[in-house]
Amino acid sequence: MIYGTGIDLVHVPRVAGVYERHGERFVDRLLHDAERREFEVLSLPRRRVLYLAKAFAVKEAFVKAMGTGFRGIAHDHVGAVRSESGRPGLIYVAALSRQLESLGIIGAHVSISDEHEFALASVTLETA
């Protein structure tokens, strides 16, 4: 059963501007620890900005699927990481995992895409 769905479209140049202005402070507030490890190995500036834009879109899509906005959820509480096959999935800090469990949410489906100046993410949360 579907608990909620969310989608978000991000203008990559906007994220680039925020990253230029705030640098590591922005990265620290945005990325989950696992995302941060993936981000650190990226060397090309364009790839780093695109990674941040996609991460931002995933988090926005997630809170829309939750129906809560960011009330009680920080950007770095949820992250998108890829499996060995490349399939994206969500990871959470412990407190958010407990919250999802209490709501009966047993799964999340994620799709991430980008094209030139835009990054898009879709999240569907599933219950039993």
Give all strands (DSSP E) within the chain, no chain letters.
2-11, 78-82, 88-92, 105-115, 118-127
Question: Binding site for Mg(2+): which residues?
Answer: 8, 60
Residues 67, 71, 121, CA angle at the centre, nearest 5°? Answer: 50
CB 89 within 8 A of CB 80: yes
Question: Binding site: which residues?
Answer: 8, 60
